[in-house]
C-alpha cells in the first residue's frame, strides 16, 4: 500500500524538439480528458513557432541521420522496440486511461513494439527492394538507389500509439527526419513514446513531437519551405485539399490519408513514399 | 567622470599632447562598470518583444547595417566577388531588400571587392594592422593599412595591441591608433578592442574611451577569431561609452559588435540595446554596424516569412 501521506508526483507533458523536452514557446497548454470525460493531464499546446523550431531541429539532424549506415539505423529502431517493451505497463496504463480494455491495450502496445521491429528489419533491405541495377547499352554499371527525401511533416492519426508508430517508423527508417503532430485528443502516449525515443540512441532531432491543435499546426507544417514531404494520415478529410495546396509551394511529396487499420501488416508503401531515387553511372573496370 | 578635463583638452581625434600619466589617470578615473547590473540590463532589454510591422522595419534596418564579412585563410577572389554580389542584392528575388552597409575582407582582396562593388553604394571595409592578433611591428601594420586604403577600402578595421593594453601601456595603444588614423587618410577607422581578451567590463570601458580619444570613428567588439565574441553586456558598455563621449566632446562615434551574431533575434536585440542605451541617433548604418555573415541569411529568411506568410528554409539562400 502506498503511504497515504505521500503526494503523487505528476508528469508534466511537454513537447519533444531536438532531443529535449521544452514547453511550448507560447506557454499554452490544453486539458486532456480520459475516456469518461474526467481530467487526465495538461498537455502543451504547440504554436507555429514550435513548428518552426522543430523543423529547424529536424533539418539539423538530417545530415547525420541519413549518413548513418542502414544497418545502424536498423539497430537503433530495434533499440526503440526494446525500450518500448520495457515500458509496456506504462503504455498499457495510458491506453486504458483512454478507454481501451486491458486486452486491447496490451495488444496495441505489443503491436507497436512489433511494428518497430518490423521496420527495423527493413532498414538494410529497403535499398535492395526499392533500388535496382539497370541494364544499359555501354560499358557502365548503372544503379538506382533510394535516398531519403529530407524532413517529413507527419500529421499522426488518432490511434495514439500503434497508429503513431506506424507513421513515424517508416518515415525515419530510410534516413528522413520527422516533425510529428500527435493525435490531438490523445497526445500523452506520444510524449511518453518521446521518452522512449530519447533513450534509444536515436539522435536528437530525428523525431520531433508536437502536441496541440492539428488545425492550427498542420497548415504551418504544410507550407513550410524547409519540409520536404508530408504525411496526412491524421488530417481531417475536409482539410486535405487545402493542406495539399499549401504543400505545393515547394513540391512536397504528400501521402494522403488512406485505410486506417493500423493492426494490419503495413507493406512498404509508407517507406517508399518518402524516398527519392538516385541513379549513378559508373564505368566498368575502374 | 572627468569629462570636464576632456572638454578643456578639446579631446577629439586631433589630440596630440597626451602624456602617459594623464591618459592613465583619465582611464582609471572612469567609473567602474557594475558587471551584474550590465548583464541584468542587457538581459532585460533582450526580452523586448518586437513583432509585425516593427519587426519588418527592424529586419530591414539590420540588413542595411550588416558588414558582410569573409575573413578566412581560404578566401579567394571568386568568393569575394560572390559575397559582393550578395551584398549589393541580398535577395535576388526581391528588389525591395536593402543592400548591406559594407563588405569586410582582408587587405589583399580589398581591390577585388572595390571593383565588384563599384556603383552599388556598398562600402568596402578591410581589416588591417596584422589582423587578428595585431602582433607585427608598427611599420608593418601601417604599411598594411596604407595598402588597404590604396586598394580602395573606405573603411579600415584595425586591432589594438591587447598585450600593451593589458600591461597598462595605454600611451602605446593610443599612439598606435593615432598613427593608423593618420595612415587611413580619408578612410573611416574602426578600432577592434577584442573584448574577449580584455577580461573585464572596466577594461572594455577604458579601451573604448582610449580608442575614441585616439580618433576612432567606430569602436568594434571583436575580431571573430577567438571563442568569446560580441556579447550584449559588452556592447552595452561600449554604447554607454559612445553616448558619454558625445556628451563630453560633441563627436559621435559608431559601434560595431562582431562575431557570434547568428539569428534575427540576436540582431534585433542589438538594435533594441542601441535605441535604449545610445539613442535613436545611433540607429543608422553610419553609426551602428553588425559584423557578421550568417545572420544575413536568417534575416532574409525572416523577411521572406513576413512577406509570403510561410516559413522559408536555408535551401533558398546562398551558402556563403
Domain ranges of chain B: 19-307
Which pairing describes strands A177-181 and A207-210: parallel, antiparallel, or unpaired? parallel
Average pLDDT value for residue range B126-152: 95
The pLDDT tens digits of the residues spanning B264-313 come to: 999 999 999 999 999 999 999 999 999 999 999 999 999 999 999 999 99
Return the CATH fold of A29-283: Aldehyde Dehydrogenase; Chain A, domain 1 (3.40.605)
Quick check: B310 and A224 CB within 8 A? Answer: yes
Strands A140-148 and A132-133: antiparallel
Could you write out the DSSP letters of every residue in chain B?
A: --HHHHHHTT-STT-----HHHHHHHHHHSPPP-HHHHHHHHHHHHT----HHHHHHHHHHHHHHEEEE---TT--HHHHHHHHHHHHSSSTT-TTSPPPSEEEE-GGGHHHHHHHHTTT--EEEEE-SSTTT--S-HHHHHHHHHHHHHTT-SEEEEE--HHHHHTT-HHHHHHHHHHHHHHHTTSEEEEE--GGGS-SHHHHHHHHHHHHHTT-SEEE---S-SS----HHHHHHHHHHHHHHHHHHS---EEE-BSS--SHHHHHHHHHHHHHHT-GGG-STTTB-EEESHHHHHHHHHHHHHHHSS---GGGS---
Packing angle of the helix pair B264-277, B52-65 (nearest 10 deg): 90
Q: Number of Cβ pairs closer than 8 Å across A and B?
A: 29
A226, B313: Cβ pair inside 8 Å?
yes
pLDDT number for residue B130: 94
pLDDT digits (tens, 9 = 90+) for A141-162: 999 999 999 999 999 999 999 9
- Spatial distance between the Cα atoms of B131 and B136, rounded to a whole number of angstroms: 9
- Which position among B86, B144, B220, B298 bears the catalytic label? B220
Which H or E run includes A282?
Answer: strand A275-283
Q: What pLDDT, on a 0 to 100 scale, did the predictor assign at position B17?
A: 62
Active-site residue B79, yes or no?
A: no
**Cβ within 8 Å, pair B314-A55:** no
Q: Do B315 and A226 make contact, defined as CB atoms within 8 angstroms?
A: yes
Q: For B255, list phi and psi in degrees, rounded to 5.
A: -130, 140
Instruction: State the nearest Cα–Cα gap between A56 and chain B, in angstroms.
Output: 9
DSSP state of A138: S
Element containing residue A66 per DSSP (H, E): helix A48-67
pLDDT at A51: 98
d(CA B169, CA B147): 27
Q: For chain A, give every domain's residue range.
A: 29-283
Contacting residues of A for B316, CB less than 8 Å apart: 225
Say yes or no for a CB contact (<8 Å) between B311 and A249.
no
pLDDT of A275 = 96
Task: State what percent of residues in chain B have pLDDT above 70.
Answer: 95
Quick one: pLDDT band at residue A2, thresholds 50, 70, 90?
low
- Alpha-carbon gap, residue A17 to A172, rounded angstroms: 15
Is the CB of residue B242 less than 8 Å from the CB of residue B219?
Answer: yes
Model confidence at B5: pLDDT above 50: no
Q: Cβ A225–B311 below 8 Å, yes or no?
A: yes
Tell me the ipTM for this assembly: 0.86
**DSSP for residue A12:** P
B256 is catalytic: yes
Q: What is the dihedral of CA B269, B272, B274, B279, to 10 degrees?
A: 180
Q: Does residue A116 have a pLDDT over 90?
A: yes
pLDDT at B141 over 70: yes
Per-residue pLDDT at A63 exceeds 60: yes
Which residues of A are less than 8 Å from B309 in CB distance? 223
pLDDT at A286 exceeding the cut of 80: no
Q: Could you tell me the pLDDT band of residue A21, with boundaries at 50, 70 and 90? A: very high
pLDDT at B1 over 70: no
Q: How deeply is B119 buried, as exposed, middle or buried, from its count of CB atoms within 10 A (0-12, 13-18, 19+)? A: exposed
Per DSSP, A7 falls in state P
As a whole number, the mean pLDDT across chain A is 95
Asked if pLDDT for residue A172 goes beyond 50, the answer is yes
Which of the listed CATH numbers 3.30.470.10, 3.20.20.70, 1.10.10.10, 1.20.1440.230 matches domain B19-307? Answer: 3.20.20.70
Query: In the predicted model, is pLDDT for residue B129 greater than 70?
Result: yes
For the question of residue B55 being annotated catalytic, the response is no
- Chain A interface residues (partner B, CB cutoff 8 A): 51-52, 55, 59, 220, 223-227, 246, 249-250
Amino acid at each position: 500500500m502506498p503511504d497515504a501521506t505521500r503526494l503523487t508526483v505528476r508528469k508534466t507533458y511537454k513537447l519533444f524538439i531536438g532531443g529535449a523536452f521544452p514547453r511550448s514557446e507560447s506557454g499554452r497548454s490544453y486539458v486532456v480528458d480520459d475516456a469518461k470525460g474526467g481530467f487526465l493531464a495538461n498537455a502543451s499546446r504547440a504554436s507555429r513557432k514550435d513548428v518552426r523550431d522543430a523543423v529547424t531541429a529536424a533539418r539539423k539532424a538530417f545530415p547525420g541521420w541519413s549518413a548513418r549506415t542502414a544497418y545502424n539505423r536498423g539497430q537503433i529502431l530495434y533499440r526503440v522496440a526494446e525500450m518500448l517493451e520495457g515500458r509496456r505497463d506504462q503504455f498499457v496504463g495510458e491506453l486504458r486511461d483512454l478507454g481501451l480494455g486491458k486486452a486491447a491495450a496490451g495488444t496495441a502496445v505489443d503491436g507497436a513494439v512489433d511494428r518497430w521491429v518490423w521496420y527495423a528489419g527493413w532498414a538494410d533491405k529497403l535499398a535492395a527492394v526499392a533500388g535496382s541495377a539497370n541494364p544499359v547499352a555501354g560499358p557502365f554499371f548503372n544503379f538506382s538507389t533510394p535516398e531519403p527525401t529530407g524532413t517529413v511533416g507527419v500529421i499522426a492519426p488518432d490511434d495514439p500509439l500503434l497508429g503513431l508508430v506506424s507513421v513515424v517508423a517508416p518515415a525515419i527508417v530510410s534516413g528522413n527526419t520527422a516533425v510529428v503532430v500527435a493525435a490531438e485528443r490523445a497526445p500523452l502516449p506520444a510524449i511518453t513514446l518521446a521518452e522512449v525515443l530519447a533513450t534509444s540512441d536515436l539522435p536528437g532531432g530525428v523525431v520531433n513531437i508536437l502536441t496541440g491543435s492539428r488545425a492550427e499546426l498542420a497548415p504551418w507544417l504544410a507550407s513550410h519551405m524547409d519540409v520536404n514531404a508530408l504525411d496526412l494520415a491524421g488530417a481531417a478529410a475536409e482539410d486535405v485539399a487545402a493542406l495539399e495546396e499549401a504543400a505545393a509551394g515547394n513540391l512536397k511529396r504528400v501521402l494522403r490519408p488512406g485505410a486506417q487499420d493500423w493492426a494490419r501488416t503495413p507493406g512498404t508503401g509508407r517507406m517508399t513514399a518518402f524516398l527519392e531515387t538516385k541513379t549513378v553511372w559508373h564505368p566498368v573496370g575502374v | 567622470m572627468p569629462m570636464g578635463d576632456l572638454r578643456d583638452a578639446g579631446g577629439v581625434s586631433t589630440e596630440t599632447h597626451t602624456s602617459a600619466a594623464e591618459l592613465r589617470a583619465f582611464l582609471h578615473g572612469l567609473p567602474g562598470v557594475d558587471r551584474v547590473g550590465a548583464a541584468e540590463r542587457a538581459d532585460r532589454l533582450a526580452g523586448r518583444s518586437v513583432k509585425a510591422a516593427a519587426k519588418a522595419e527592424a529586419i530591414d534596418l539590420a540588413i542595411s547595417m550588416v558588414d558582410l564579412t569573409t575573413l578566412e585563410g581560404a578566401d579567394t577572389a571568386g568568393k569575394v566577388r560572390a559575397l559582393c554580389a550578395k551584398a549589393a542584392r541580398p535577395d535576388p528575388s526581391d528588389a525591395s531588400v536593402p543592400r548591406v552597409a559594407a563588405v569586410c575582407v582582408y587587405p589583399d582582396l580589398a581591390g577585388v571587392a572595390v571593383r565588384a562593388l563599384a556603383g552599388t553604394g556598398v562600402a568596402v571595409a578591410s581589416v588591417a594592422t596584422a589582423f587578428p592578433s595585431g602582433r607585427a611591428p608598427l611599420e608593418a601594420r601601417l604599411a598594411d593599412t596604407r595598402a588597404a586604403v590604396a586598394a580602395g577600402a573606405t573603411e579600415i578595421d584595425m586591432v589594438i595591441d591587447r598585450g600593451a593594453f593589458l600591461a597598462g601601456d595605454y600611451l602605446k595603444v593610443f599612439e598606435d591608433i593615432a598613427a593608423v588614423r593618420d595612415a587611413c587618410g580619408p578612410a573611416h577607422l574602426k578600432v577592434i578592442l577584442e573584448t574577449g581578451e580584455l577580461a573585464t567590463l572596466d577594461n572594455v570601458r577604458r579601451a573604448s574611451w582610449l580608442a575614441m580619444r585616439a580618433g576612432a570613428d567606430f569602436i568594434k567588439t571583436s575580431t571573430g577569431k577567438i571563442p568569446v565574441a560580441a556579447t550584449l553586456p559588452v556592447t552595452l558598455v561600449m554604447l554607454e561609452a559612445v553616448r558619454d563621449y558625445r556628451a563630453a566632446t560633441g563627436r559621435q562615434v559608431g559601434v560595431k559588435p562582431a562575431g557570434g551574431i547568428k539569428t534575427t533575434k540576436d540582431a534585433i536585440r542589438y538594435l533594441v540595446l542601441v535605441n535604449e542605451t545610445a539613442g535613436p541617433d545611433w540607429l543608422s548604418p553610419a553609426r551602428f554596424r553588425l559584423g557578421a555573415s550568417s545572420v544575413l541569411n536568417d534575416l532574409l529568411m525572416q523577411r521572406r516569412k513576413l512577406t509570403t506568410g510561410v516559413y522559408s528554409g536555408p535551401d533558398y539562400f546562398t551558402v556563403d
